[in-house]
Amino acid sequence: MRTNTALLGRTLRLAPLVAAAVLTLPACGATSGDGTPDPSAAPAPSSSGGAGAATADQRGSGADAEATSAEGPLAGTTVVIDPGHNGGNADAAGKISELVDAGHGHKACDTVGAESADGYTEHAFNWDVSERLRDSLEDEGAEVVLTREDDKGVGPCITERAEIGNEARADAAISIHADGGPSSGRGFHVIRPGELDGYTDDIAEPSHRLALDVRAEFEEGTGQQRADYIAEEGLDERTDLGGLNLSDVPKVFLEAGNMSNRADAADLADPEWRETAAESVAAGISRFLQRGQKD
């Protein structure tokens, strides 16, 4: 297990910003070196500088932010939400293509993300659901940290996305995505870290429990089917994603649907469906956290 960096100061609620619609190329449908679809949105470079580096202030900490609730079933817990990709990535190819250490080798700092046939971008979906998810979790008393402050920036790199969760000593972390798979494929899946010595050996098991809870609540709440083109029974185990490999806290990726599939894309573009999706993810995280509090 790697040593955690110093605990970040408590981050307050980020002000909602309008998601930017930018034409992008699919990234969650991109393949890794072994031909496996790669949904990872690269975390930002570390605080030493580099593409997409973000400070605590840039992530929304400020005097005018609303304080999170001190009451509720999740009071005393911290959740990090990582909205995959970013709205400015498409215009910053040089920056996001810089290689970073992903724990199993090197990968691009970040990627652009997928896009539906109607032009709805994954980064906009990720940001919208993450804001809604933040609100749901804060209503239950959790302290919530987002890895980016809006949908207009670049990155951060996969390394910094993981580092933010580690510095916050999050009780749970989740990266929100939508896939860019084959157009014939439908459904959602949850990605958990496989066991990687020196990296995820200490979080693999709790991350598995988090994945099961998120899968159960998301499936029940949204009615979305488990993916029929990837993963098994809506669960996938990966050791090639830097956002998971570099995490020292329980963490999963949610691929909420396939943007290349018209039926899935119609759901993803529906604000009411996104609200239900966010509430369902919140229920899964809450289930995981409250079980941990009883143990």
Q: Is 149 a catalytic residue?
A: no
User: What type of residue sits at position 63?
Assistant: A
From the list 131, 167, 255, 279, the catalytic residue is 255
Contact between 253 and 177 under an 8 Å Cβ cutoff? The reply is yes
Element (H, E) at 215: helix 204-222
Torsion of CA 14, 286, 292, 59, to 10 degrees: -10
- SS3 assignment, position 288: helix
Q: Scan for tokens 């999963």, then name that residue.
A: 252
Alpha-carbon distances, residue 274 vs 90, 97, 133, 245, 278 (angstroms)? 24, 30, 10, 28, 6
Contact between 138 and 23 under an 8 Å Cβ cutoff? The reply is no
Pairwise CA distance, residues 288 & 44, whole Å:
27
The catalytic residue positions are: 255
